[in-house]
Structure 1
Amino acid sequence: MSCPECFQGSVHDGEPRGKVIKLHGLDTYATEPADGRAPRGIIVIVPDAFGWEFVNNRILADHYADKGDYKVYLPDFMLGHSASLSMLQSVRGFTSGSLLYKPYYIVMALSGFIPFRYHNRFGRSWPIVESFFRQLRTDGAEGAALPVGVAGFCWGGKHAVLLAQTSETAVDGRRPLIDAAFTGHPSRLALPADIAALTRPVSFAIPEKDNQVSPEQAAMIRGIVEALPAEAKGEVVVYEDCAHGFCVRADLKFKDSEVARQAAEAEDQCIAWFNAKLGLAA
């Protein structure tokens, strides 16, 4: 398995408060500020492997709505083929279980991993993601009137980065599909090519112990995005002692733990970035 860490982590407690709608052809979890204030912009989440129904992703969407006064959409870009939560247990057993049961956990992990990779390979998922953003951006009721940001995690990180390459994804040759992007521990980036092609600003939250982006690669990304023209200049924040998946699947059992604290900081990084780059900073 190329990325066991993509299928590890904790399930969070909580009850998402948004609603499920059909938006631009996709089932979508939609949430707005809880206090009834009018949304100032739109954030679309392109999630990790566990997809749009994963409680962690829906709670994160609620947090973004409340912290930044955003309308947040979490679409089913995987068309019903997200990773099963049983993968969390299978991969945990595969990586840390006893030798006696390792063969069992390997088989169970692969039985989930192989279908996920088949159904959600980039060549299949990218047209779905790109089409959604194109329809959103040309919707006169929303995307044409409000600024649009994308937040991509793990599997979704690659999509968020490519959405920020507006030379390939312009709307009517005038407007980009997105105004700004945020990505937490993105997977399967082509480095440095994916970063050098950015024309919209991207904020990266990279864990120090990431298995997908090494410290040396994080430094390379920082050097590239900080040297881009002003309209595309980005940032890289490295979170010490954190591992891949911490933005979404950190263990929050102990709220004052270092990883829980840094997961909350990554949420704030995302909101501060969008507030600034979508023209909404106070």
Structure 2
Amino acid sequence: MAQIAQLLIPFLLLSIFLSLPLGHVAEEAGSLSRHCLENPPTLNSSYGAGSVKEIGGLKAYVSGPYHSKRAVILVSDVYGYEAPHLRKIADKVARSGFYAVVPDFFFGDPYVANTSRTIPDWLKTHGTDKGFEDAKPVIAALKQKGIHAIGAAGFCWGGNVVTKLAKTNLIKAAVLLHPSWVTVDDIKAVKVPIAILAAELDNGTPAKQLEEFKSVLSQDKVKNFIKIYPKVKHGWTVRYNDTDTTAVKAANEAHKDLLSWLSKYVKKRY
């Protein structure tokens, strides 16, 4: 009997591990889009028109008018806040009058592709639940410096973090760009105007699921905008190939839609 019990222990532990709720490593790693880790960026700590400051205990790339009363937090994918395309988006947001903030939610430890460290291993210390908690002091610090209205946009991993923020009153509006691990139950809890910008070729957030999201948000009378961009795949808004004209065009279109949504609902009263 003792030998049987020893054999069963690993299976019991695996069952517990796999039953962890959304935000934990098993669930996250298990529902990644097949394109989630493609085309990793070449990180550049000095890229962009802005600078790096400490906000709420995190390093953050910031861009735009420091005395603005409106801010947008941009939450990265697993490759982190030094991705040039992400900082380029932050600069676009800044030129629209927002104080753009891209926190380093990974504390100098973004995921590195093509290494022996797997994404499940990396997610053990960088789950989206932790990202959500780490966002709170950033938001508090922004409000302390006089910012009255905050929006948030999240990419892939960051889309899940921003969904969690959208369930609270911490932000005025949210944009999810090809988000990962977002469920209908998550959407049912959303309180703020939300836009979901999705790729046609994304098994992580398929069209049928987006239809469910739309139905839930409309039923709950939450202002929403859901758009599927044709011929592009998961990650295209921030990890597009500069030589792929279709992806670049679609990415720029998504960036405009992001700005339009945030301008409408974050600038609304300020």
TM bucket normalised to smaller: 0.7 to 0.9
1:20, 1:112 → 2: CA distance? Answer: 29
Aligned-residue Cα RMSD (Å) equals 2.4
Residue type at the aligned position of 1:160: V
1:163 alignment partner in structure 2? 165
Q: Distance in 2 between the 1:207 and 1:111 partners? A: 28
Tell whether the 8 Å contact from 1:43 to 1:71 is kept in structure 2 after alignment: yes
Give 2:265's aligned residue: 277
Between 111-120 and 152-161, the greater mean CA deviation after superposition: 111-120
Give the match's secondary structure for 2:199: strand
Partner of 2:8: none
TM-score (norm 2): 0.80
- 1:168-247 aligned at under 5 Å gives the runs 176-189=169-182, 191-229=183-221, 232-247=222-237
Unaligned runs of 5+ in 2: 1-28
- Are 1:151 and 2:157 counterparts? no
* Contact kept in structure 1, 2:56 and 2:138, CA below 8 Å: yes
Residue type at the aligned position of 2:175: F
Partner of 1:120, secondary structure, is coil
**In structure 1, what residue type is equivalent to 2:226?**
V
1-structure distance, mates of 2:202, 2:181: 12
Partner of 2:26: none
- Equivalent residue, structure 2, for 1:127: 133
Deviation at 1:10, TM superposition (A): 5.7
* Long gaps (5+) in structure 1: 91-107, 167-175
**What letter corresponds to residue 203 of structure 2 in structure 1?**
N
Structure 2 CA distance for aligned equivalents of residues 39 and 12 of structure 1: 31
Which residue of the other structure, out of 6, 17, 27, is the alignment partner of 2:59?
27
TM-score by length of 1: 0.77
Match of 2:10 in 1: none
> What CA distance in whole angstroms lies between the structure 1 residues aligned with 2:242 and 2:164?
31
SS at match of 2:36: helix
- How far apart are residue 9 of structure 1 and its match? 2.2
Quote the Cα distance in structure 2 between the aligned partners of 1:125 and 1:136. Answer: 17
CA contact (8 A) 2:129 2:161 kept: no
Answer with 118-127 or 205-214: which moved more: 118-127
